[in-house]
Structure 1
Amino acid sequence: MSDQTPPDPVTRGGGRGLFIAFEGGDGAGKSTQAGLLGAWLTEQGYAVSHTREPGGTTLGRQIRELVLHGEDGSVTPRAEALLFAADRAHHVASLVRPALERGHVVLTDRYLDSSVAYQGAARALGHEEIRDLSLWAVEGLVPDLTVLLDVPAALGRARRREVHDRLEREADSFHDRVRAGFLELAARDPERYVVLDASGAPEELAAAVRDRVSLLVARADLARDVTAEGA
């Protein structure tokens, strides 16, 4: 065994850029808010990279199909957690870190908090176990800011209407546990989160997100007037 002291496993952001994750239950409006923030940042002249998990890379799209669009019961809980971690490892190494190093603002629809909430809390695999797995996969990279759009299970289901993937088809009790998992994460690290009531009007939510992001942008050395490479 080595007697060297391991480094701090958590690293905020990376490179010159800003890393912002949008989290929340299904139907919370993450994609909408990421799109609105990205459009505003682009108008300000910043380079923006949009991505999502799973599915931000070619490998990620294949994993997404396996995990989210298979038959119910086709993926066991531990296999589900490992597949999401594999996607995340590849996603960060091949897309997120390079974009941050170029000075981009990287906006991701879901990141490691989703694994902690869905597999750690709702699947009862353990908060710390799933968080540690994801941190190992991404070599400690966490967002500079996580926007948590808080939505009750019933409202999320109503917004999704008839379109449901394998996780979305879970009972409201499952999604209640997901919601509680997200809120616990935000309570543990309030400086890294902005928690918003997702039942509010989209433009009001977008304004609140812009207010918080403006503070980060003012302190960052971001690339400007560069065409972003989305996923």
Structure 2
Amino acid sequence: MTKAGKFIVVEGLEGAGKSSAMATIRNWLQQQQLTVVCTREPGGTPLAEKLRTLVKQVDDTELLAPETELLLMYAARVQLLTNVIRPALANGNWVLADRHDMSSRAYQGGGRQLDEQLINNLRQTVLGSTRPDLTLYLDIDPAIGLSRAAERGELDRIEQEQLAFFIRTRQKYQQIAATEPDIVTIDAAMPLAEVQQAIVAALNRHLLGGLHG
């Protein structure tokens, strides 16, 4: 019987350094001789990538309602879970995701201030029993993160939100991270080398024993 893989998620605001964190984690997993499937949200399947475009593109002709944004996120998520994440885990592969459900709780719940019960109902319907084994939340001051994001080029629809939106989103991220034991907060304002060291330390602490136990 194939031993199920583990599910690791990287979370954080724009400019928090998720791409660098993903590379650090992927290298660590490969050093453990594990097969890694990398994905992102929204996206990760052909249909989910189309939904990602709908969510992120700037459209001056029609306002995207917050509830529509939320439903598009969960539509993309259920496609990814059904077609990529759950099959990979069942086959013994490890899944490394750039964003997952915590993003919806923070961005749509905190930033958009949507009803928490609505989000919880969607979470239960879409996620079922599938939960990350470890989430690394890269915490950064929104002003710093947005400045970093702007240096990368043109901002997408969500990145163009007001600073207050990202402050609310960060507060929700921090609130969730403080109450759930499988979430590790990393200070993303540290120099890159220190962030990488903190990530590796978290992986060693939370996952290494299970690999060799």
Residue type matched to 1:173 in 2?
A: A
Instruction: Select which of 46, 52, 56 maps to 2:40.
Output: 52
By how many angstroms is 1:104 displaced?
Answer: 1.7
Tell me which residue corresponds to 2:169: 178
CA positional deviation for 1:135: 3.0
Matched residues in 1 for 2:93 and 2:117: separation?
Answer: 30
| Structure 2 length-normalised TM | 0.91
Supply the distance in 2 between the matched residues of 1:163 and 1:200 (Cα, whole angstroms).
25
**Contact 1:88–1:134 (CA<8 Å) still a contact in 2?**
no
**What is the aligned counterpart of 2:58 among 61, 70, 86?**
70
Q: Percentage identity across aligned positions?
A: 36
* Residue 157 in structure 1 maps to residue 134 in structure 2: no
Mapping for residues 16-95 of structure 1, pairs under 5 Å: 16-71=4-59, 74-95=63-84
Confirm or deny that 1:118 pairs with 2:107.
yes
User: Is this contact kept in 2: 1:68–1:166, CA < 8 A?
Assistant: yes
Shift in Å, 1:220: 4.1
One-letter identity of the residue aligned with 1:198: A
More helix by share: 2
Structure 1 unaligned residues grouped into runs of 5+: 1-14, 222-231
Q: Give matches, 1:124-143, under 5 Å.
A: 124-143=113-132
> Which consecutive aligned stretches of 4+ in structure 1 deviate over 3 angstroms post-superposition?
none
- The residue that corresponds to 1:97 in the other structure is 86
Which amino acid in 2 is paired with 1:20? I
TM-score of the superposed pair, with normalisation by structure 1: 0.84
Kept after mapping to 2: 8 A contact 1:55/1:63: yes
Give the whole-Å Cα distance in 2 for the aligned partners of 1:153 and 1:186: 17
**1:191-222 CA-partner distances (Å, limit 9, x unpaired):** 1111011111222222222222223143148x
Residues in 2 aligned to 1:83 and 1:109: alpha-carbon distance in whole angstroms: 17
Change (3 A) 1:217 1:47: farther
